[in-house]
Each structure stands twice: as structure tokens, then as C-alpha cells.
Structure 1
Amino acid sequence: MSRALSLAALTVLEAGPVETIRIAAATGYSHVGLRPVAATPTEKHWPMLRDKALAADISAALAVENIGVLDVEILRLTPQIDWDEVQATVDFAQSLGAARVLVADNDPDAIRSRESLARMGAIAAPAGVTMALEFMPWTHAPNLIAARDRVQGLEGVTMLVDAFHLVRSGGKVEDIAQGDPLISYLQLCDIAGPIPSMDAILQEARADRLFPGEGEVDLVTLLRRLPDLPISLEVPADRLRLAGVSAQKRAALAIAATRRVLEQADG
């Protein structure tokens, strides 16, 4: 299988976008994920949508390092959406050649949520960008079934599967249909143990994942069911970061582990 391998922003969140690009190039990735819209109010953030000099530095680093942008994150479906921010995020993605913008569902009204997602898709499609809905257990698209219901039949909209969220939402790899056309890419990591409390799931998701092959998820079967899809390596590991393991070393560990799993899947 020949796949794009992308270094997700969350894996090396302490690094700025330019440093992330350089780390990706140094450790063998083909792409990066960028986070111009913060996922939480407390995380370190770089204002890529507003800082034109930073945006220019990002474009230059991508060209020098020969790295692509797999996805841009994160837009949220909410009761009141900043549509100017949606347009700015799509424009940013288009300017960097990123084909996907990651979306989370935080709207309790399922009908309104789907209508908003359709509007996002309509904004993105002319730019050659796809909205990719990510299901997460604590959102209003908490699992694979809910995500499929949201995106089915919408222009310019797909979904992505994060191995972490698949398992922590109570799903199984066997729930993924072979070659499902609604799934446009994967986020890969590993996890072990029974499903904990929601607070513990949030902590795991943001700071304590395992490298592919270290846990209990049947990643080999997942990769075989979705052959050739791009892979974003989203493996935050604060246990290593706090122990002094650098962002570049963690990125290298993540891609090495992923390549071992891919070799098994190829076999």
C-alpha cells in the first residue's frame, strides 16, 4: 500500500507550524496537519488565519521541505457558527493545497447540524476542499453510525475515522465497510484497556495515546479495509513529552511504529 503519512498537529502541539513542517521532513512524513483554529481555549495556538507573515513562512517552509498539507482543523458545528471563519479556513486550506478541513459536531440539534454541514460543504466544494466530519464520543456525532447519518448525501462532505474514537465510542474495526467511499482518510494511533469514564477518554484523547501496534486496536484489519487512504498520525504522548522526549523524537517514533503496522497490513 502506498499512502500519504501526515504528522498531525496534536502529536507535536508544542511545535509551531513551521517547526512541525521541518520535523515532518526530517522524520520521513509526506504531509502535515495544521491547526489554524484552536481546538481548546487553553492550548498553545498560532494565528495562521490572521498573521499574513506567518502564513507566508508556512508556505515557504512547505516548498523548501517538499511537504504537503493533508488537513486543516478544526471547525465546529454549533448553534451559532462564525461563517467568516469557515470561509477563511477554507481559503487557508486552498492556499496550501490541503484537500480536507476537519469538522466536529457540537450542535445538539441534529437537523440544524446537518444543514450547517451541508452549507460548509457548499462553501468548500468550489475551492476543491472537502469537509471531513470526525466522530468523537463526547460530541453530538459520537460514533460511526451518527457520523454516517450526518454526511450521507451531502456534497463536499466526507468523514474520517480515528482509531482512538472508533474504539472508545464502543465501535469495532469490523464495523468499517470494505472501501467505504464516505471515509476520506484515517487518523492512526493505538489504545488499550476497557472504555473508561468520559473525563478519562478526553484525557487519553488529548494527551495519552499509544503508538500504532502498542495497544489492542486491530489496526492491520483497519488498514486492509481502507486501502490506500491517507493516514494522519495523531499520537499525543505527554508521558514522553514530560519526560523530555523531543517533538522530533516522538514524531520519529510514531512513523516508525506506523510503518511496522503497514508492513503487516501489506503482508
Structure 2
Amino acid sequence: MKKTWSLSFLTGLGVAPEEAVRAAADAGYDYLGLRLMPAFPGGLAYPLMDDPARVKSLISLMGDSGVAVFDIEMIRISPDFDPEPLLPFLECAGQLGARAILVAGDDADEGRLTASFVKLCEAARPFGLSMDLEFMPQSELRDLSAAIRVLSAADQPNQGVIIDTLHVSRARTTIEEITAVPRKWLNYAQICDAPAKIPETREELNYTARHARLLPGEGELDLAGMFAAMPADLPVAVEIPNDEQSAGLSAAEWAKRTLIASRRILEPESDEGQ
């Protein structure tokens, strides 16, 4: 089955939204992801909600280029979480036509995290956005089972969980656990490869996730098995930041290379890139 492909923000880290749109279109993607709020204090982001004219121009560019926004990053749920200040962010995401927002769990109190997540889903619902939890062993939402507990308790119509192949491996999530996720909670998955050896520190986990993911087929993850456990029509976001391999390449060249490698794994019948 032909899949729907999205160019994740991290794959082109440092690339402005306009260049990312052109790169995604040139490389043959259907969608792309944008980051409007940083992943960590001082991290790179493009706060488009503060620039309505740029949003309007970007929407026009996407219309001309034939690609659309799929997901937007990112919201972190901390112990003192309040969704009210996020309304301009959510409204901008809705204007851009995004489907999903990546949400990280940074509250060790699971009950409070769940209550905050419910408030976030309720705030996002008028904008037609799903709130998709990303479990990561370097966060307080460490694995898929934790994410499923939050979703089961929250029970919101616009909630989901992101299956990121790197975090699946690092969290020691099993294929059986992926298979058991309800279809209604799966809006998209993220693909990359990596060595089987799991880094021991949070710093090493973060570095690999942000700077040293491998092209599908270059590592040791069971990518075919992971995706076989998910619906065949699930959109796939290609999230492969690799500082060394992308050095010297244009955003479009690296985007194309990552898509070709991903399609070789998940669409082996395709002639793309051959």
C-alpha cells in the first residue's frame, strides 16, 4: 500500500518553515512538520503565532507547493501546566491546517499529568487538532504502557499516541504492545533507525534523538516488525536528524535521501530512488 509521508521538523533542524516547505515538495513528501515552540529552554523554534503576515504567506506557499502541515511541535506538560497561554499557538496550528500536536509529558505525577492532558485536549478541540503523546525514556512519560494509562484515563476524542521507532527501542517497548494500541489512538508514526545498543544516560539519549538518528536500513531496529504491528494506512513522519550525514547537503537533498531510505523499508515495491 502506498503510504502518506511527512517530513518531520527534526529532519531539517535549522531550516526555516519556508525552506522546509520547498524541501518537502522537492523531495516528494505529502506533508511536513513545523516547530512553533522549543523542545527545551532556548531551543530552536519558529513562533509563527507571533507573525500573522508570515502565517498567511506560508499558507499561500504551501498551496502553491502542494504540501500541507501534518504535525506541529511541541507542548510540554509540566507540573504547573496551564493551557490558557497556549491558545494563540493552538489557533495558529489550526490556521496552518495542522492535524496533530506533539505533546511531551514532563510531570512525574501521572494523575496530575492526566488531568492536565484532559484540559489540553479540551482547549485544542475547537481548532480541530489531535493531542498526540510522545513517550520517551528521557521524559516522565517513559514508555508506551505509561502513555496508554494516561490515554485510558483521559478518554478524550482528540487524543493519540505517537509510535516513534527510536523511542520504541530505547523504552524497550514490544511489538505486542504496539499491536494492542487501539486504532483510534494512532494518528501517525515516526520512522528512523539506530543501533540496538541503548544509551545509558539522558544526555546520550537526547543527543541521539536530536543529532544522530540513522537512515532506515543502516541500523538494527526491527522497523518492518514495528510497522507491521500498525495500520497499513497510518501516515509516516520521517524523523532523521543526522548532523554528519546531512552536512554539506541542501535541505531538499537530505529530505530526498531520508524519504528514499524510508520507502525502501516500508514500500519495497516502489521504484522511487532506484
Question: Shorter-chain TM-score: what band?
Answer: over 0.9
Q: Give the equivalent residue in structure 2 for 1:30.
A: 30
What is the letter of the counterpart of residue 195 of structure 1?
Answer: I
Equivalent-residue separation in structure 2 for 1:177 and 1:50 (angstroms): 40
Distance 1:122 1:244, change over 3 A: same
The alpha-carbon distance between structure 1 residues 253 and 178, as it changes in their structure 2 partners (threshold 3 A), is farther
Corresponding position of 2:233: 228
Any conservation in 2 of the 1:122–1:155 contact (CA below 8 Å)? Answer: no
Residue number in structure 2 paired with 1:141: 141
**1:75 corresponding residue in structure 2:** 75
Which residue in 2 is equivalent to 1:245? 249
1:187 deviation in Å? 0.6
Deviation per residue, 1:178-215 (Å, 9 max, x gap): 67322221011011131111221111001000011211
Question: How far apart are the structure 2 equivalents of 1:85 and 1:5?
Answer: 31
Task: Output one character per residue of 1:79-133: Cα deviation in whole Å (capped at 9) or x when no partner.
Answer: 2224234222221121122111110000121111100101111122232211000
Secondary structure of the residue aligned to 1:150 is: helix
CA contact (8 A) 2:22 2:252 kept: no
For residues 42 and 245 of structure 2, the distance between their equivalents in structure 1, rounded to whole angstroms, comes to 20
Q: What is the TM-score when the length of structure 2 is the normalising length?
A: 0.91
- Name the Cα RMSD after superposition: 1.7
Which portions of structure 1, spanning 4 or more consecutive aligned residues, are displaced by more than 3 angstroms?
Answer: none
Q: Which residue of 1 aligns with 2:111?
A: 111
TM-score (norm 1): 0.93
- The one-letter amino acid of 1:191's match is A
Q: Deviations over 1:197-251 (max 9, x none)?
A: 122111100100001121111111222221111111110001123x423322211
> What runs of 5+ residues in structure 1 fail to find an aligned partner?
none
* Kept after mapping to 2: 8 A contact 1:224/1:265: no
Question: Following superposition of structure 1 onto structure 2, how do residues 1-267 of structure 1 map, counting pairs within 5 Å?
Answer: 1-152=1-152, 153-177=155-179, 180-181=182-183, 182-198=185-201, 199-226=203-230, 227-241=232-246, 243-264=247-268
Name the CA distance, whole Å, in 2 between partners of 1:184 and 1:35: 18
Unaligned 5+ residue runs, structure 2?
A: none
Instruction: State the aligned residue count.
Output: 265
Cα distance in 2 for residues equivalent to 1:27 and 1:146: 36
Separation in 2, partners of 1:8, 1:85 = 25
Between 163-172 and 245-254, the greater mean CA deviation after superposition? 245-254
Contact 1:179 1:225 in 2 (8 A): no
Q: Name the CA distance, whole Å, in 2 between partners of 1:122 and 1:44.
A: 27
CA distance 1:179–1:155, change in 2 (3 Å): closer
Amino acid at match of 1:173: I
Could you tell which deviates more after superposition, 83-92 or 185-194?
83-92
